[in-house]
Structure formats: C-alpha cells, structure tokens
Amino acid sequence: MVEELATVAPVSFDGTDWRDGLRDYARVQLDTLAAHPNLVPLVLSRPATTAGNHRMMETLLQSLCTAGFQPRRALDMVYALNGLILVHAALGVGVGDAPQPHGELGQTSRLADLPAERYPLLAEAARASADRGPAARFEFALEALLAGFVGSRGES
C-alpha cells in the first residue's frame, strides 16, 4: 500500500527543467497523501523500500545527475523533498496524539489574536498572513528548498 502511494507521482523530467520536475513530483505526492489521510501515519512509519520505490528514486537521481548534481547530493535532495512532503501531509491530517487541524487558517488566526503589545511582530505577521493557508506555506517551503538546491550543485 505504501509503495502504491509512493509511486503514484509520475517521475519524468524529459524536456523539463529539474526544478519543474521536482515541483510536479512534490505537488502530486502531497495531493496523493491528502487524498488518503488515513494512510499518512502508515507512510510515516513504514518507508517504501520496494522495487517500485527504488525505480522511482533511481529516476529522480538520474534526472538530477543529468542536471549536474553529484549522486550523493541528489539523494540528499530527494530525502529533503520527501521530508517536506511528509511533514506537510502529517500537519494536514494530524498524526498520533496531535489534534486534527481546525480549518485551513486555524493556527494563523489564533496567532493574529495574540496581544499586539506583547507580540507586535508575530501578531502583525499573522494578520498579514490571514488569507494564507497550508498550501501557500507548502509552496513557499518548496521554492525555498529548490532555491537552496541550486547553490549545492557540485558540492558533496
């Protein structure tokens, strides 16, 4: 079951910039996990160490190495990206003893209610982010991660 979820995202960067390929991969993986919220704890506790997952990872590494990354760095990138996906999926459904999220903007709206005299920057930032939910935060984190990968090309 974990393999089925892990290998749903098409991994093909043919004619695609590696960043666009990773964006597509990350979005499809997150959407797949969001569509199967009851399986998120299973995915977190049982890594997909199957032939299908190995083929998918090999394809990701091959695409990244073709783009100029060393194999070791490419593997670090895949792990970092999968970590981002899994954390956002877990936050979206609540895992273990964590409470279920209360709506898209629950945490931000609670922060906006903090006393501005005590937490002026936090309250201001939360109010300014009132319309941004988990999807926007995922996109921000994804873009930040991809930007960091650019600087790591050739490093080992």
**Is pLDDT of 151 > 80?**
no
In a domain, 104, yes or no: yes
- Global pTM reads 0.81
pLDDT-based confidence at 16, cuts 50/70/90? Answer: confident
In a domain, 56, yes or no: yes
Task: Express each pLDDT in 79-124 by its tens digit.
Answer: 999 999 999 998 887 655 544 554 445 666 778 888 989 999 998 9
DSSP code for 144: H
Share of the chain above pLDDT 70, in %: 78
User: Tell me, what's the pLDDT at 118?
Assistant: 94
User: Tell me, what's the pLDDT at 131?
Assistant: 81
Residue whose entry in the numeric block shows the structure tokens 């984190």: 141
In a domain, 155, yes or no: no
In a domain, 59, yes or no: yes
Task: Express each pLDDT in 23-59 by its tens digit.
Answer: 999 998 899 888 888 888 887 887 777 788 888 889 8
Q: Report CA-CA distances (Å) from 58 to 46, 51, 112.
A: 19, 10, 44
Q: Which domain holds residue 127?
A: 2-150
Q: What per-residue string of b and e applies to 116-154 under the rule 16 or more CB within 10 Å gives b? A: eeeeeeebeebeebeeebbeeebeeebeebbeebeeeee
Decide if 81 contacts 25 (C-beta within 8 A): yes
Residue 77 sits in a domain whose CATH number is 1.10.357.10
Tally of domains in the chain: 1
In a domain, 98, yes or no: yes
In a domain, 73, yes or no: yes
In a domain, 156, yes or no: no
